[in-house]
Structure formats: C-alpha cells, structure tokens
Amino acid sequence: MTRQEFLDQVLSPLGRLTAQERENVRRELEEHIEDRMEVMLDMGWDKELVESRCLEAMGDPAEIGREMARQYRGRGWLWIGRAAVALTVVMCIQALLGFGMLSNVWSSLEARICPSTASSIGGLKDVEAEEALDIRAEVGSDILRIYQVYVGEKDGQRAAMVLACMYDRLPFGIAADGLASRSELWNERGGTGTSAGGSGNYGAEYAVRWTPVEPGDTHVVWEYRAIGETVRLEIPLPGGEETV
C-alpha cells in the first residue's frame, strides 16, 4: 500500500469534513509518518523498505478512519479540525501500541531472554542429543541469535537441527523479516538441508533449519545473507569432539 492510498482510506469515512479540515488532517498524518520513518532510518532500516513497514505498523487505515467517525458523530463538525488531528495521532499510537505493538515488544524481550523452542522441532525424530546455546552476532541494527541445536533423524538420515531468532537492538524496534528465507545451514562437507519453518512478528523473527551430519562431525555453520552482508556462525554439535 502506498502512502497516498493509506491516507485516502483514513479520510474516506470523514465525509463531513470541509476541504480545509481534510487537508489539515492529511498534513498532520503526513508529518506523523515522516517522524516515524525518520526514527526507523536512524535505526538502520533500508530507505526503500521503511515507508511500507511504517504504514504496516500503523495498522488498518480504514479502521482508524471509522474510529474517528464514531468518536465525532453527532458532535458537530465545524470544530473538528484540530481535534480530529489530535485524535488521528492518538489512533495511530493506539494502532502501534494496542493492535500488536505490545505483543511485538514482548516477543522482542522473549527472544533476548528465553526464546521459543519449536515443539515439533521441524519434524526431527529420535533426538539423540541437544544443547542450549547463546551465540549472537550483529546484523545491521538487528541481533541474530542461535539458541538451540539438536541431533537426530530427519527424512531418514542423521541430521542437525538449529533454532535461531532475530530481533532489533532496541525493544521497541522492528526486526528484519525473512530470517528463514535468507539463511542456510551447512555441514562440514558443504552440504545443506532445507528450512524447517519460520515464524514471528515485528518484534522477533524465528527460523529452524537442518542439515545432514555424519558421526564424528563437530559443528555446522549458520549462514545469513541480507542486503549485501553475510554472517557465518559456527555452531558446535552436542556430544561432538572439539575442533582441532
């Protein structure tokens, strides 16, 4: 959705506003969006993505407009100009905090302290060893964290399964998406498996990947690629011998 489409949908239910009042609301919304985008750019977001992610975080524009209309129905529209602007800003904040932002913050904190462990472990069977890890790396304004590794059977072969998450350095920041699609898990022979799933929200992204391993293997490597940057993290296998 473009910024113009977003603003049009917010203003659509406000049919009783005068042209000047609608322009006032539009201008204030524009300033609010610009302020949010500036904060996200300062946090390291790609300028080509920041507007679309900002609009998504603000919530449903049609719902914002309908709530404004409900609040002011029957109260007279001649004095709504500045009051409507203030309410619109409040609604935008509510869209950020009330309609998902609080859960995003919780997800971000959870990823830092006690990340979620996949109950199915991506279909891994006969788990023979597992270990909790805390391997972290900076990726732009985000932190990539490897927090669990398993060894068991996957698709009829011995495999390592690794769980990872990504979150912004700031609890209120927006985590980069696409962790699963931008990651690979390599074994010591350069082979890789596939993604076993991914999930998350604006607060934290999760991904599970697996790769075949053989007895005697000591580690696998998680590789993350995004925006011209590659991060490789060596992950020791539970029960494996020390790498010489």
| Tens digits of residue pLDDT in 104-129 | 777 888 888 888 775 556 678 888 89
What residues form DSSP beta bridges with 225? 230
Identify the pLDDT of residue 3: 83
Identify the pLDDT of residue 81: 47
Q: Enumerate the H helices of the chain as residue ranges.
A: 3-11, 19-42, 50-58, 61-72, 80-96, 102-113
Identify the pLDDT of residue 71: 53
Question: How much is the mean pLDDT over the chain?
Answer: 77
Identify the pLDDT of residue 92: 52
79: left (phi over 0), alpha (psi -120 to 50) or beta: alpha
- Distance of alpha carbon 65 from alpha carbon 152, whole angstroms: 53
Q: Mean pLDDT in runs of 10 for the chain (244 residues)? A: 83 74 78 75 73 74 70 45 49 48 74 73 80 90 91 91 90 78 91 79 87 93 84 88 38
Q: What is the pLDDT of residues 15-36, one digit of tens each?
A: 666 777 778 778 877 877 787 7
Identify the pLDDT of residue 74: 44
Output the CA torsion 7→41→50→202 (10° steps): -100
Identify the pLDDT of residue 61: 77
Q: Which domains does the chain have, with CATH numbers?
A: 3-104 (no CATH), 121-236 (2.60.40.1630)
Identify the pLDDT of residue 87: 47
Stated pTM of the model: 0.58
Identify the pLDDT of residue 75: 45
Identify the pLDDT of residue 186: 93
